Structures are given as structure tokens and as C-alpha cells.
């Protein structure tokens, strides 16, 4: 959430953040099995990357 806050302070709109491609993976994350928790780390990295890309 800190990255998203920084993006918003840099005038990135909520709409732009809401339309990031990673959103679909976040929605599906609730179906990830506990024995595959590594996927959450991968999703987190992708979130950070996509949010960072909005401020460039």
C-alpha cells in the first residue's frame, strides 16, 4: 500500500491503479492453496513493479 500511496501523491489516479493488469491475479489469489504460498511473493513483486511503472 505504501507504493500505491506514493503513486497517488505523484498524481497517479486511483482509476489507473485499479486498471493495472495485476488486478486479475489479486482477485484470483483467494484460490491459491496454502502449499503454494510462493505465488503470493511473486504477485507482490509484480504489484510493486506495476505500481512503480505508473510513476515513470
Q: What digits encode the pLDDT tens for the residues 23-49?
A: 999 999 999 998 998 999 999 999 999
Question: Is pLDDT above 90 for 55?
Answer: no
Global confidence as pTM = 0.80
The three-point CA angle 6-8-12 to 5° equals: 120
Higher-confidence position of 56 and 22: 22
Question: Is pLDDT above 80 for 56?
Answer: no
Give the domain ranges of the chain.
2-54
User: 16-25 burial by CB neighbour count: b if 16+ within 10 A, else e?
Assistant: ebeebebeee
Amino acid at each position: 500500500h505504501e507504493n500505491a500511496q506514493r503513486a497517488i501523491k505523484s498524481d497517479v489516479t486511483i482509476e489507473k491503479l485499479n486498471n493495472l493488469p495485476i488486478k486479475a491475479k489479486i482477485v484470483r489469489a483467494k484460490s491459491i492453496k496454502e502449499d503454494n504460498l510462493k505465488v503470493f511473493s511473486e504477485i507482490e513483486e509484480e504489484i510493486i513493479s506495476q505500481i512503480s511503472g505508473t510513476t515513470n
